[in-house]
């Protein structure tokens, strides 16, 4: 689903530009996201447990935000096809 050739891109959502950079982490799909607003940058990681795949933040603690940003990243790649 994620284009391995695209390491940097931008997403615009609700008037906020997000600079997205793919991170080279073994065994994970991960992105660092820097916001044009005053929100702190976040690292989101696509992972899975025994039930489902999901997005989480590294370090943990910004789960809801990670799920929202992860969904925007997924939409970005889906719309590129």
Is the overall model pTM greater than 0.75, yes or no? yes
Partner residues linked to 9 by β-bridges = 20
pLDDT tens-digit map of 4-50: 567 899 999 999 999 999 998 888 889 999 999 999 999 999 988 88
pLDDT of residue 30: 93
pLDDT of residue 2: 63
Compute φ and ψ for 43, nearest 5 degrees.
-105, 120
Mean of pLDDT values over 42-63: 91
Residue 54 predicted with pLDDT over 80 = yes
| Tokens encoding 12 | 């615009």
Q: CA 46, 8, 25 angle in degrees (round to 5)?
A: 40
């Amino acid at each position: 689903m994620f284009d391995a050739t695209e390491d940097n891109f931008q997403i615009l959502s609700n008037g906020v530009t997000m600079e997205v950079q793919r991170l080279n982490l073994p065994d994970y799909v991960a992105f660092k996201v820097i916001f044009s607003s005053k929100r702190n940058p976040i690292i989101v990681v696509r992972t899975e447990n025994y039930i489902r795949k999901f997005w989480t933040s590294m370090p943990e603690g910004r789960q809801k935000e990670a799920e929202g940003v992860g969904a925007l990243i997924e939409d970005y790649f889906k719309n590129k096809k």
